[in-house]
């Protein structure tokens, strides 16, 4: 069974019944778009704010939807007490360990998959230099997986990254990283392929298929975790049809791999999407339009899944 999932923003979840209804009707899995990240969930050294994360987990659980946790170790959206703090190696390890234990522990048994580590590899394939890698040394990845496994032994633990959908320097580096973690016995269960794609820069699908297959051949789950297909300029009929094609191709590939267990879009309606803010001049990247009408991309997905 493959989950069709979407990242969820807490504001419209609270404020907009159409948002809630569309989400519950069309999807079987949710990811927290922001509220489980370090900064939002752990705003002060001794203070956690679980209100948003709880709201999402509660919504999902009440509707028997699965939850992806996102994310425990990342270089972005960190609180200033962390980025501006000065920690010894031991102190920083204690911070991360307590954070993982507290956040993953709170939802123990209710999270299907955790993005334990997000984006730890730079675009050129070298290890990304972050607060964590600089402060803890290269062993921090393995440690993070071990701590997450202690905190929630049920959740499947993922390494998640962007720009690793096709073959290339970065996906080679992540592949070797996964091999290394597995060889050392780390509880790595899957790799998440974010798939923030551009309609003007789509990957070669043959390469995407070969790439996902080689990760699956390591015995790993593979999931599409943050799909959007941004359209440059105005989204006309032709662009929407080509976008639907991209959604369809990627899902087709996923469906040929038995361990591809989730296909998750980063948001679901063009009304609430990070794309126009982050990629200037682009938009309309998601499967529902801004009025919650299914776009050709959504119809293609539903056709393939027989839903």
- Tell me the per-residue interface mask from 42 to 81 with ligand XIL, x by CB under 6 A, - otherwise: ----------------------------------------
Separation CA 36–CA 46 (nearest Å) = 16
The interface with ligand XIL within residues 172-201 (CB under 6 A) comprises: 194
Q: Which residue is nearest to ligand XIL (CB)?
A: 274
Provide the residue count of the chain: 307
CB of 76 to ligand XIL, least distance (A): 7
Whose Cβ is closer to ligand XIL: residue 48's or residue 274's?
274
Whose Cβ is closer to ligand XIL: residue 91's or residue 278's?
278
Separation CA 263–CA 134 (nearest Å) = 33
Residue selected from 81, 274, 279, 292 as contacting ligand XIL according to rule CB under 6 A: 274
Determine contact, residues 51/42, Cβ cutoff 8 Å: no
Whose Cβ is closer to ligand XIL: residue 11's or residue 303's?
11
Whose Cβ is closer to ligand XIL: residue 93's or residue 170's?
170
- 33 near ligand XIL, judged by CB under 6 A: yes
In the residue annotation, 119 being an active-site residue is answered as yes
In the residue annotation, 33 being an active-site residue is answered as no
- 228 near ligand XIL, judged by CB under 6 A: no
Residue selected from 28, 118, 149, 223 as contacting ligand XIL according to rule CB under 6 A: 118
Q: Give the chain's radius of gyration (CA, Å).
A: 19
Whose Cβ is closer to ligand XIL: residue 59's or residue 266's?
266
- 279 near ligand XIL, judged by CB under 6 A: no
Residue of 146, 148, 130 whose CA lies nearest to 138: 130
- 34 near ligand XIL, judged by CB under 6 A: yes
CB of 273 to ligand XIL, least distance (A): 8
State the catalytic residue, choosing from 33, 119, 165, 209.
119
Q: What are phi and psi of 162, to 5 degrees?
A: -105, 160
Whose Cβ is closer to ligand XIL: residue 7's or residue 216's?
7
State the catalytic residue, choosing from 165, 179, 226, 252.
226
Given the DSSP bridges, would you call strands 282-283 and 221-232 parallel, antiparallel or unpaired?
antiparallel
Number of residues this chain uses to bind ligand XIL (CB under 6 A): 7
Separation CA 159–CA 121 (nearest Å) = 10
Residues near ligand XIL (CB under 6 A) are 33-34, 118, 162, 194, 226, 274
Query: Active-site residues: which are they?
Result: 119, 226
């Amino acid at each position: 069974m493959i989950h069709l999932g979407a990242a969820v923003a807490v504001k419209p979840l609270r404020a907009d019944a159409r948002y809630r209804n569309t989400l519950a009707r069309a999807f079987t899995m949710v990811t927290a778009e922001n509220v489980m990240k370090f900064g939002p969930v752990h705003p002060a050294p001794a203070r956690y704010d679980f209100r948003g994360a709880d709201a999402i987990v509660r919504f999902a659980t009440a509707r028997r939807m699965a939850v992806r946790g996102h994310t425990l170790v990342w270089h972005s959206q960190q609180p200033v007490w962390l980025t501006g703090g000065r920690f010894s190696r031991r102190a920083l390890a204690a911070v991360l360990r307590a954070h993982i234990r507290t956040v993953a522990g709170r939802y123990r048994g209710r999270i299907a998959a955790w993005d334990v580590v997000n984006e730890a590899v730079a675009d050129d394939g070298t290890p990304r230099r972050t607060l964590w890698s600089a402060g803890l040394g290269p062993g921090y990845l393995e440690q993070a997986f071990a701590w997450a496994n202690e905190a929630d032994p049920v959740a499947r633990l993922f390494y998640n990254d962007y720009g690793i959908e096709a073959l290339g320097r970065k996906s080679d580096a992540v592949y070797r990283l996964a091999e290394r973690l597995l060889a050392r016995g780390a509880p790595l269960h899957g790799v998440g392929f974010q798939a923030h794609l551009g309609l003007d820069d789509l990957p070669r699908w043959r390469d995407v298929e070969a790439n996902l297959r080689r990760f699956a051949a390591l015995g790993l789950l593979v999931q599409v975790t943050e799909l959007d297909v941004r359209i440059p300029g105005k989204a006309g009929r032709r662009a929407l049809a080509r976008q639907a094609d991209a959604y369809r191709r990627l899902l087709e590939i996923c469906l040929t791999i038995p361990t591809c267990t989730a296909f998750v879009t980063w948001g679901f309606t063009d009304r609430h999407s990070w794309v126009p803010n982050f990629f200037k001049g682009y938009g309309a990247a998601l499967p529902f339009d801004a009025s919650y009408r299914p776009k050709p991309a959504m119809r293609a997905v539903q056709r393939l899944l027989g839903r």
